[in-house]
Amino acid sequence: MSLSNAPPPNLEPWQSHAPALGVYVHIPFCVLKCAYCDFNSYAGLSELHAPYVAALISELQLQTERADRPIVDTVYVGGGTPTVLPPDAVGSILTALHECCRVAADAEITLEANPGTVSRQTLHALRGHGVNRLSLGVQSFDDAELRLLGRIHSAAQAREAVSAARAAGFTNLNLDLIYGLPYQSVAGWLTSLEGALRLEPDHLSLYCLTLEEGTPLYEEVSRGSVPASDPDLAAEMYERARDLLARHGFVHYELSNWARHATTSRYNSRLSLEPGCRSCRHNLKYWTGQPYLGIGAGAHSYLNSVRWRNVSQPAAYIDAISHSGSARCDEELITTEGRMAEAMFLGLRLVAGVRWSELYARLGCDLRRKYVLELAELDSEGLLTVDAESARLTPRGQLLANQVFVRFLSSCERSGRPGADRE
C-alpha cells in the first residue's frame, strides 16, 4: 500500500481537525493471557496500573491542549481488560476527558469488560461514571470451549454479567462471540448463539477464530494436539448465524457486527447508522474514514490524513509520556491513493457498502471511475453488486471479503508512488 513512512517535519495533525472526534483509550492489562490472544495485552503488571492511568491522563491533556478542547462524540475504552482497573480509575480517565474535550451530551461511551472481572457493584459504579455502552467478551456459552480458549470465566458468569449490567442500567449492551473453534460443530455454535439471543443483547459481534502464530493455541494446533478448525465449517457457521440473526430482528450492518432493531428491543438508546439500528458509532468512524485519537500503549490515531501509533509496552509507554510527553513510535502520512483504497476496503466492510456521492464528498474523486476495472471484475465474479449509487458485497462476497479487499490494495500498490501528498 502506498503509505509514506517519512512524514514532513513538524507534522501537525491537529491543524484543522474535523468537528467531532472519536477517542480510543487502551487498557493493556488482563488477569491472564487467553490461549488465542495476540492483542497488545499483558497478564498481571498490577504495579503499573496506577502510573499507567496517570500517564493516560497526561497524554490526553498533552494531545488535546493544542486543539482547544476538541468535540468528542464517541469514546471507546478497550483492551486488554479495562475492568481489571477499579471503576474509579476509569472514572478519573473520563473526568479528564471531559476537562480536555467538549464531550457531546449524547456521546456514546463504550467500555469493554470481561465477565470474570465484573460485579453488580463495579458495573453500577461504571454506569455512574458515564459509561453508557458495555461490550462483554463472552466468546462462547460452552464451558469446554471457554477452557480451550483459556478464558477466565464460565458461561454462567457471562449470564450473570449480563444480568448485572442490565440491573446497573446499561441499555446498550454488546456481546462478543467467537466461531470456527477447534472441535466446534455448527450445532454447537448455534447453541452458543441462541444462548446469547436469550439474553436479549442490543448488539452482537461475531468473530471467526484466527490462529495467530506464537499463541499457545497456535502451538497446540501446530503440534497436532488440538485439531485445526475447518474453514468450510466456519463459513457455514457464518451463514447460519446471518440467517438466525435476521430472523431475530437484528440488522447486519458490518461483516462481523449485528445491531438489534429498535422495534424488537426492550431497551432505549440513541440510534445510529439507520433509523432503529444500534450500530457501534465509534467503530463506524474506523470504517468511514472519520478521525479518531488513540490514547495509551499501542493505540493508533488518525487525523487529517496522518496516522500514528504509540509504543506497545506499558512500561515503555509510561516512561515515554513522563520523559517527553509523547509515546509516538511510528507515524505516516496517508497518500491520496492510500485514502482512496482505504475508503473502498474499509467502506465495503459495511453491509450497505460505499456510496459514490459520499466518497466524492470526502475524497473529491469519483471512485466508481477510478476503480472501474476492479469493480467490473468483482461484479462479474458475483462478489460485489455495483450500481450508479453504490457498491456492496454480495452474500457470497461477505464470505470472501478478503479477496475483494486485496483488489483495491493491489490497485493502490500499482499506482502508488513513493513519498506522500497531503491535501
49-to-54, 134, 315, 397 alpha-carbon distances in Å: 9, 21, 10, 43
Residue 252 CB, shortest distance to ligand SF4, in Å, is 24
- Per-residue contact track with ligand SF4, 193 to 222, x per CB under 6 A? ------------------------------
3-state secondary structure of 217: helix
CB atoms within 10 A of CB 282: 23
101 vs 123 by CB, closer to ligand SF4: 123
Could you tell me how many helices (H) and strands (E) the chain has, helices first?
A: 16, 18
Are the CB atoms for 94 and 61 separated by under 8 Å? no
Residue 114 CB, shortest distance to ligand SF4, in Å, is 5
3-state secondary structure of 173: strand
CB-based burial, 202-211: b 16+ in 10 Å, e otherwise: bbbbbebbeb
Left if phi > 0, otherwise alpha if psi is -120 to 50, otherwise beta: which for 123?
Answer: alpha
- Number of residues forming the site for ligand SF4 (CB under 6 A): 11
Residue 65 CB, shortest distance to ligand SF4, in Å, is 31
28-to-79, 99, 237, 311, 313 alpha-carbon distances in Å: 5, 24, 31, 12, 9
Residue of 22, 70, 80, 195 that binds ligand SF4 (CB under 6 A): 80
Residue 108 CB, shortest distance to ligand SF4, in Å, is 21
Stretch in the footprint of ligand SF4 (CB under 6 A) among 31-39, 45-53, 204-212, 399-407: 31-39
Give residues 122-141 in contact with ligand SF4 (rule: CB under 6 A): 137
81 vs 265 by CB, closer to ligand SF4: 81
In the chain the first and final C-alpha atoms are separated, in Å, by 18
26 vs 278 by CB, closer to ligand SF4: 26
Residue of 81, 122, 290, 301 that binds ligand SF4 (CB under 6 A): 81
221-to-38, 65, 183, 210 alpha-carbon distances in Å: 16, 49, 12, 12
C-alpha cell at 32: 491472564
33 vs 309 by CB, closer to ligand SF4: 33
Residue of 23, 34, 155, 341 that binds ligand SF4 (CB under 6 A): 34
DSSP H stretches of helix in 117-248: 120-128, 143-149, 155-167, 186-198, 216-223, 231-247
Are the CB atoms for 359 and 353 separated by under 8 Å? no
Give residues 334-363 in contact with ligand SF4 (rule: CB under 6 A): none
Is residue 39 at the binding interface for ligand SF4, with CB under 6 A as the rule? yes
33 vs 124 by CB, closer to ligand SF4: 33
Residue of 11, 33, 71, 248 that binds ligand SF4 (CB under 6 A): 33
Determine the Cα–Cα distance for residues 364 and 423; give it in Å rounded to an integer: 10
Determine the Cα–Cα distance for residues 386 and 392; give it in Å rounded to an integer: 7
Residue 48 CB, shortest distance to ligand SF4, in Å, is 15
Residue 148 CB, shortest distance to ligand SF4, in Å, is 13
Residue 38 CB, shortest distance to ligand SF4, in Å, is 8
Determine the Cα–Cα distance for residues 269 and 106; give it in Å rounded to an integer: 10
Name the percent of the chain in helix, strand, coil, to the closest 5: 45, 25, 35
Stretch in the footprint of ligand SF4 (CB under 6 A) among 73-81, 88-96, 314-322, 328-336: 73-81
82 vs 397 by CB, closer to ligand SF4: 82
Are the CB atoms for 57 and 93 separated by under 8 Å? yes
Stretch in the footprint of ligand SF4 (CB under 6 A) among 79-87, 160-168, 190-198, 311-319: 79-87
33 vs 129 by CB, closer to ligand SF4: 33
Residue of 21, 25, 27, 37 that binds ligand SF4 (CB under 6 A): 37
Residue 146 CB, shortest distance to ligand SF4, in Å, is 11
Residue 136 CB, shortest distance to ligand SF4, in Å, is 11
Residues in contact with ligand SF4 by CB under 6 A are 30, 33-34, 37, 39, 41, 79-81, 114, 137
